[in-house]
Amino acid sequence: MVISAGGAAGRAATMEGSAGPLSGLLVADFSRILAGPYATMLLADLGPDVVKVEGPGGDDTRTWAPPVHDGVATYYLGVNRNKRSVVLDLTDAGDLLLARRLAQRADVMIQNFRPGALRRFGLDYDTVAAANDRIVYASISGFGAAAGADLPGYDLMVQAASGLMSLTGAADGPPYKAGVAVFDVIAGLHAAVGILAALRHRERSGVGQHVTVDLLSSALSGLVNHASAHVAAGVVPVRMGNAHPSIFPYEPLPTADGELVVIAGNDAQFRTLCRVLGVPELADDPRFRRNQDRTANRDVLRPLLVARLVQRSSEAWFGDLRAAGVPCTPINALDRGVALARELGLDPVVDVDGVPGVRHPVGFSATPPRYDLPPPGLDEHGDELRAWLAG
């Protein structure tokens, strides 16, 4: 372990062997649960020293079990590799002094406390930036720091409030949440992008800035075509089950032994689909010739396609349609999804000192992600970090 003293001449603590694109930077991670830790893990894989500051009880996700791996909650393991953990009780004067010193030495600080909550500790942006004007300080909230500051930032709340749940589920059924905390993940991605942009600005200007991300804004951005339909055309989208409002086919269709996702994203793909299914005449039918025609007449077209698909298995159709270039896939459970990634040569799993995890999603030809440290135990690096901060 190589640790520098911080400051303008070279402030970051770095790990031996690290040569990622962000190596040499120090990230003070005061976040917990998902959005912040996901953002800092994405950054951590790219080389900086990420110091995970935890309260005396530790990150909540340490207790979110089952499932577990060697007794540790897999939820926590999934977003905390390549970090060092130190427990600092901000209500303790000595620990608070160390937390402030960490912020003063850091290149990046990220936190997802309720807006304004860190002001009483002198760890808010204005106070930290007054002592460290190069800091890129990222704040993640649920609903912003203005009128929504009192609302806690739970992903399920944002899925409900943003409109996503109104779009998820069967057309004649109740609203459903997505199967993963999708807006926490999107907000984490947005935070990482914002931090990188602010670091680039610092390279040119010499000063940092405050990066703010909230889950509701991330949700509305992530709703893409549905959000655009409303803000640009006044449309309020509704639940359509697995159907797409603007493309057909673009959904699971029944086969002899299950369902197969079948997509015709343009007219050429539809023509190929019809040829492989043995109904080439459908591509010339004026009701189905163009995408807008197929979308308008989906209730007529769907049973014609299904009548062919139910004659063979999903795997059989998958092989033929894939060979012809028609987008399609069986509906997999997660185990099969990981297995497929392996079969495709994507190497989805990395092992860090016996702790399996999903590899970093971005590839680099010159500066690949690193996998130096497994997710840390609570206060695992506390002694060395407190000694460094006290020096």
**CA pair distance 347, 356, nearest whole angstrom:** 12
SS (H, E, C) 143-193: CCCCCCCCCCCCHHHHHHHHCHHHHCCCCCCCCCCCCCCHHHHHHHHHHHH
Determine contact, residues 126/189, Cβ cutoff 8 Å. Answer: no
201/207 Cα distance (integer angstroms): 8
Distance separating alpha carbons of residues 28 and 128, to the nearest angstrom: 12
The residues that are catalytic are 184
- Sign of the Cα torsion 313, 319, 324, 329 reads positive
As a whole number of angstroms, the distance between CA 60 and CA 247 comes to 42
Q: How many CA atoms lie within 13 A of 380 on its CB side?
A: 14
Q: What is the DSSP letter of 376?
A: P
* H or E element in which residue 339 lies: helix 334-343
Q: Which residues lie across from 213 on neighbouring strands?
A: 140
The answer to whether 110 and 102 have CB atoms below 8 angstroms apart is: no
Q: How far apart are CA 217 and CA 223, in angstroms?
A: 10
